[in-house]
Amino acid sequence: DKTIRLVLIGSKFQIALDKARPDDMTFTHEGNTVLIFDKKISIRLEGHRLDVEGVDDSQQLVLSKQQ
């Protein structure tokens, strides 16, 4: 019942496990909520792209600035 939450600690984005709150932005994949973050994070992410990239047999979240 917990999902990956994107949080801002200092000036760095990190992830934590948490439950969605009423004002959160939520993202789903195949019917499951896979990522949540609050409006403050949403504003900080403006102009950025969040992707999942494969590295060998694993995947990682990659945040990049859109051009």
pLDDT digits (tens, 9 = 90+) for 7-54: 999 988 899 999 999 999 999 988 999 999 999 999 988 999 888 888
3-state secondary structure of 14: strand
- Distance separating the N- and C-terminal Cα atoms of the chain: 36
Classify residue 45 as exposed, middle or buried by CB count within 10 Å of its CB (0-12, 13-18, 19+). middle
Confidence (pLDDT) at 5: 95
Kindly report the pTM of this predicted structure.
0.75
Eight-state DSSP code of residue 63: E
Give the three-class secondary structure for 67: coil
At a CB cut-off of 8 Å and minimum separation 6, what does 46 contact? none
